[in-house]
Homo-oligomer: A and B are copies of this chain.
Amino acid sequence: MLNFEYYCPTRVVFGKGAVARLPELIDKSQKILMIYGGGSIKKNGVYDQVKKALAGCDVLEFSGIEPNPKYETCMKAVDLIKKEKVDFLLAVGGGSVLDGTKFIAAAAKYEGNDPYDILTKGLAVKDAMPLGDVITLPATGSEMNFNAVISRLSTNEKLAFASEKVYPRFSIIDPCVTFSLPEKQTINGIVDTFVHTMELYCTYDVDTPLQDFWALGVLKTLIQEAPKVLKDPNDYNARANIFWCATCGLNYWMALGSVQDWATHGIGHELTAFYGIDHGQSLAVVLPRLLKNQKKVKQEKLAKMAREVFGVQSDDESVAADEAIEKTEAFFNSIGMKTKLSDYGINAGEAAEKIRARFAGRKTKLGEHEAIDADVSFDIVSAC
A interface with B by C-beta (< 8 Å) = 1-18, 207-210, 212-214, 216-218, 220-221, 224-225, 237, 240-241, 244-245, 248, 253, 256-257
A213 touches B210 (CB 8 A): no
B7 touches A11 (CB 8 A): yes
A245 touches B210 (CB 8 A): yes
The 8 Å CB contact of A6, one of B11, B18, B245, is B11
A218 touches B207 (CB 8 A): no
Q: How far is the CA of A4 from the CA of B241 in the complex (A)?
A: 13
Q: How far is the CA of A220 from the CA of B307 in the complex (A)?
A: 15
Q: How far is the CA of A217 from the CA of B248 in the complex (A)?
A: 15
A241 touches B14 (CB 8 A): no
Chain B residue, CB-CB nearest to A7? B11
Q: How far is the CA of A337 from the CA of B220 in the complex (A)?
A: 33
Q: How far is the CA of A2 from the CA of B218 in the complex (A)?
A: 18
Chain B residue, CB-CB nearest to A216? B213
Q: Report A168 CB to chain B, min CB distance, Å.
A: 12
Q: How far is the CA of A217 from the CA of B221 in the complex (A)?
A: 14
Q: Report A11 CB to chain B, min CB distance, Å.
A: 4
> Which chain B residues border A1 with CB–CB below 8 Å?
15, 237, 240-241, 244
Q: How far is the CA of A136 from the CA of B4 in the complex (A)?
A: 17
Q: Beyond A15-B257, A217-B217, A253-B253, is A248–B210 a contact (Cβ under 8 Å)?
A: yes
A12 touches B16 (CB 8 A): no
Q: Report A370 CB to chain B, min CB distance, Å.
A: 23
Known: A1-B237, A1-B241, A210-B245. 14 other contacts (CB 8 A): A1-B244, A2-B15, A3-B14, A3-B18, A5-B11, A14-B257, A209-B224, A210-B218, A210-B221, A213-B216, A213-B217, A213-B218, A213-B221, A244-B256
Q: How far is the CA of A213 from the CA of B245 in the complex (A)?
A: 12
Point out which of A7, A14, A217, A225 has the most chain B C-beta atoms below 10 A from its C-beta: A217
B214 touches A217 (CB 8 A): yes
Q: How far is the CA of A3 from the CA of B12 in the complex (A)?
A: 11
Q: Report A207 CB to chain B, min CB distance, Å.
A: 4
Q: How far is the CA of A9 from the CA of B11 in the complex (A)?
A: 9
Chain B residue, CB-CB nearest to A222? B210
Q: Report A33 CB to chain B, min CB distance, Å.
A: 24
> Which chain B residues border A212 with CB–CB below 8 Å?
217
A14 touches B18 (CB 8 A): no
> Which chain B residues border A15 with CB–CB below 8 Å?
1-4, 257
> Which chain B residues border A2 with CB–CB below 8 Å?
15
Q: How far is the CA of A244 from the CA of B256 in the complex (A)?
A: 10
Q: Beyond A214-B214, A240-B1, A248-B210, is A256–B14 a contact (Cβ under 8 Å)?
A: yes
Q: How far is the CA of A16 from the CA of B1 in the complex (A)?
A: 10
Chain B residue, CB-CB nearest to A245? B210
Q: How far is the CA of A215 from the CA of B2 in the complex (A)?
A: 22
Q: Report A173 CB to chain B, min CB distance, Å.
A: 10
A217 touches B207 (CB 8 A): no
B13 touches A5 (CB 8 A): yes
Q: Beyond A1-B15, A256-B14, is A241–B210 a contact (Cβ under 8 Å)?
A: yes
Chain B residue, CB-CB nearest to A236? B1
Report the 9 A-B pairs with minimum CB-CB distance, sorted nearest first: A213-B217, A3-B15, A9-B9, A7-B11, A207-B237, A1-B240, A210-B221, A6-B12, A209-B221
Q: Report A291 CB to chain B, min CB distance, Å.
A: 22
> Which chain B residues border A7 with CB–CB below 8 Å?
9-12
A5 touches B12 (CB 8 A): yes
Q: Report A211 CB to chain B, min CB distance, Å.
A: 8
A4 touches B11 (CB 8 A): no
